A and B are shown apart, each in its own frame.
Chain A
Amino acid sequence: MDRPVIRFLVFAAAFATAPLGAMAHQLIVFASVDCEDVTVEAKFSNGNAAREGEVRVMDGENTLLTTLSLQEDGTAIIPLETVDHASGLVIEVDTGSHDNYWLLTPDDIARNCRS
């Protein structure tokens, strides 16, 4: 296993044990990727899209790469070429009252770019 992957997994494990907003109307964050973009989706557990919130994009070593805002439909688009994704990406969404994250591993990015 190469070192960027190891670093990413260690960071991911630390993230996974951090306290999260697992409360009523939990925020659900998901990110899919193709060769061009990362598409972030944020919705509440009742199915409603998160209409506003900050998206923070970090690399596998917890370095902040960029921030952007959710669109009204609860999505955000991150062009892959604008971020260094070699060590994976951590996509964190914070609506002010709820927050959650999605981890894109280097394998996630490579697999979806191939397909």
Chain B
Amino acid sequence: MKRYLFTTALAGLIATTPAMAHYGMIIPDDPMISQEDGRSVSLTMSFSHPFELDGMMLERPAAFSVTHEGVTSDLLDRLEDASVMEDQGYTLDYPLERPGTYVFAMEPQPYWEPAEDAFIIHYTKTYVTAFGDDEGWDTELGLKTEIVPLSKPFGLWESNVFQGIVKMDGEPVPYAEVEVEFFNQDTAATAPDELMITQTVKADADGVFTYAPPAHGWWGFAALNTADYTLPQDGEDKAVELGAVIWVHFEEWTGQ
């Protein structure tokens, strides 16, 4: 069986393939902060191909916020420039003052993708729970498009299913396509076929999708839809791909 090993030697080959999926990324150092872990969380933001660890330019986002106990706070000015996957990204150390779920959300600037003749805007979010309190784990932020979790988006064992509702303008999106990709942080994962880098599931008639990852780690879910508006590029109106992205960490099973 042919087997692609995604080494540096193959990186150039991969870069020319159209199968690569773009993902907005918000990755905390820990999705479940206990009181023994400290009193803050460190976040890394990027726009990347997470399986191949291929970074892209992430302009300073249009918005970056945290929502906790129903209150949303603007954090845009607190983002620190950083190199992530050898491209422009950001970091943030955020103090956790109280228990509960903190939802970090990013609206990037429209990204012009010539190969797709379209703009890409991935509304990206990640849920972090602090100090043993998971209240707020199913928070809906009211973004233009978002995945609202039906499964708690942390504290999942590997191979547990994750379910969410794809929403656009607050309404479920029937049969939405959801791309799923693993953040291949230690490059240990290989794919027997390019089709295995980004998997795709469809939501049902109520916009609900289900996925069970084969391994622990960070998994990104991106529900992609075309916006009901266009943006100008080179004197023409171009389509806009809207992504509802959520990052979920699955924990390593500790039993036999």
Contact = CB atoms under 8 A, between A and B. Distances in A.
| Chain B binds chain A | yes
B133 A102 contact: no
Residue of A26, A28, A47, A108 most packed against chain B (CB within 10 A) = A28
Given A45-B135, A102-B131, 6 more contacts: A12-B36, A26-B132, A28-B131, A30-B131, A32-B98, A100-B132
B36 A108 contact: no
Interface in A2-43: 12-13, 16, 26, 28, 30, 32
A12 B39 CA distance: 15
A102 B36 CA distance: 10
Contact of A28 (B36, B97, B132): B132
Nearest to B99: A30
A62 to B, nearest CB: 17
Interface of A: 12-13, 16, 26, 28, 30, 32, 45, 47, 100, 102-103, 108
B94 to A, nearest CB: 15
A103 B36 CA distance: 9
A28 B99 contact: yes
Contacts of B230: none
A108 B36 CA distance: 12
Interface of B: 35-36, 39, 97-99, 131-135
Contacts of B134: 45
A49 B35 CA distance: 20
Contacts of A47: 135
A41 B98 CA distance: 11
A13 B97 CA distance: 21
B135 A102 contact: no
A49 to B, nearest CB: 12
B35 A28 contact: no
8 contacts: A12-B36, A28-B99, A28-B133, A30-B99, A30-B131, A32-B97, A102-B131, A108-B39
A102 B98 contact: no
Contacts of A45: 133-135
B36 A30 contact: no
Contacts of B98: 30, 32
A26 B129 CA distance: 15
A50 to B, nearest CB: 13
Contacts of B133: 28, 30, 45
A16 B99 contact: no
A103 B39 CA distance: 11
Given A28-B99, A30-B98, A32-B98, A103 B132 contact: no
A16 B99 CA distance: 17
Nearest to B34: A16
Q: Which 5 A-B pairs have the closest CB atoms?
A: A28-B133, A16-B36, A30-B99, A28-B132, A47-B135
Contacts of A103: 35-36
A86 B39 CA distance: 19
A30 B130 CA distance: 11
Contacts of B135: 45, 47
Nearest to B136: A47
A113 to B, nearest CB: 14
Identify which of B36, B39, B98 gathers the most chain A CB atoms within 10 Å of its CB.
Answer: B36
A16 B132 CA distance: 13
Point out which of B35, B36, B133, B134 has the most chain A C-beta atoms below 10 A from its C-beta.
B35
Contacts of A102: 35, 131
Contacts of B35: 102-103
